[in-house]
Structure formats: C-alpha cells, structure tokens
Chains A and B, each alone.
Chain A
Amino acid sequence: MAETEEEITFKKETVSKLLTSFFKEDKTRISGDAVVLMTEMIKIFVQEAAVRSQKQAEAEDCEQVEIEHFEKILPQLLLDF
C-alpha cells in the first residue's frame, strides 16, 4: 500500500450537475474548463475547512476534531472564500 499518488477529488460530473442545479436560468451552461477549475476550488474549500478545524483542535489540545472546532473556524473560512 505504498503509492499515495491516488488523488482524492470530486468527479467532474458531480460538480457539473451540482452547479447547474443551482442556476436560476435554464439556458445557463458551464464550460468544461470552468467545471475543472470549480472542482479544484471546491476541493480547496473542503481541505481548508478540514485543515483549519484540525489546527483548532490541536490548539485546544483535543484528540479528535469535533464540530465545535469547525464552528470556530467557519466564519473566517467563509470570509476568505
């Protein structure tokens, strides 16, 4: 189980469906490139959320990352995005 090159990412199709489901106009579409870039962005969002929550847990000397840790970092996370 040595190879750690397996990159965890969202499926392009999922991201595409997700974004288009929120569009207000039926005629709005999204280009392939935009989907790829948004896939990256969403992944970064999740990673930021995870790492910041984990750092908060560390700062509070907690063994597990709990929802309180996430809640504390959430405001700044949303402002940063």
Chain B
Amino acid sequence: MSLDKEEVHQRLKAAVHYTVGRLCQKTGQEHHKEFSRQTIAAIAETSFRQCEIFARDLEAFARHAKRTTVSAEDVKLVARRSTALSMYIQNKSEELNQEKKSTGKRKSKDAEESRDQGL
C-alpha cells in the first residue's frame, strides 16, 4: 500500500505551504504589511520547486565525490553563490560539529525532537 509519488508531493506541498504561510505572516507582522494569499501560494510553489533544484544539485555533488549519502559538504557547495549564505551555512555546520563533540555521543535524539517542534 505505498503512496503514489503524486500523493507524496501533494502532501509535501501542503506542508511547505503551511510553513511558508506562517513565515510570511511573521514577516508581515514585523513590517506591518499583509501578504495576499496568492503571494503566499506563489512563494510556497517557488520554494517547493527550488527544493527540487537543491536536491538534484546535492545528489550530483555527492555522486561526484563518489558518495551515495549527501553530506554537509554538499550543502556548503549548494550555498556557494551568495557569500553571506555560504558563511551562514558554514557557521551552522561548525555549530553542529561542536554540538557533537561536546555531547560526546552521536547526535542525540533529544536534539532532533526539539527541532521538530510539532509544526
């Protein structure tokens, strides 16, 4: 009883749309401007499609490095176009490594759960 690829994408699109809506709402609140529903939908759709581009790039980079698992290094490459973005991602990556070292064990389940925040 496996889900159709289309169904999976529909669900994922809905999940993306939900979070995009919330982010837009927050941005709108901070700058006292509301986002029209059309705009939110358009941003959600574009973000979804951008993920496909990210995914294809990630896979290509991993394959190029003769790996089957996409790693943080691949993500750093994907972020290469903007210096600010690249630095941000590098810093985040170092943060993650620091966390691992300081807890002294594999990425704990606690950290993972706290990130999921029931959205």
Report whether over half of chain B's contact residues are helix, strand or loop; otherwise say mixed: helix
A22 to B16 alpha-carbon distance, docked (Å): 15
- B59: contacting residue among A7, A28, A33, CB under 8 A: A28
B68 sits at the interface (CB 8 A): yes
B interface with A by C-beta (< 8 Å): 5, 8-9, 12, 15-16, 19-20, 22-24, 26-28, 31, 33-36, 38-39, 42-43, 46-48, 50-52, 54-56, 58-59, 62-63, 68-72, 74-76, 78-79, 81-82, 85, 88-89, 92-93, 96, 107, 112, 115-117, 119
Pairs A–B under 8 Å by Cβ, sample size 22: A11-B15, A14-B16, A19-B58, A21-B5, A23-B59, A24-B56, A27-B68, A34-B72, A37-B89, A39-B115, A40-B92, A41-B75, A41-B79, A42-B47, A45-B47, A50-B24, A53-B35, A54-B28, A65-B24, A65-B28, A67-B36, A70-B42
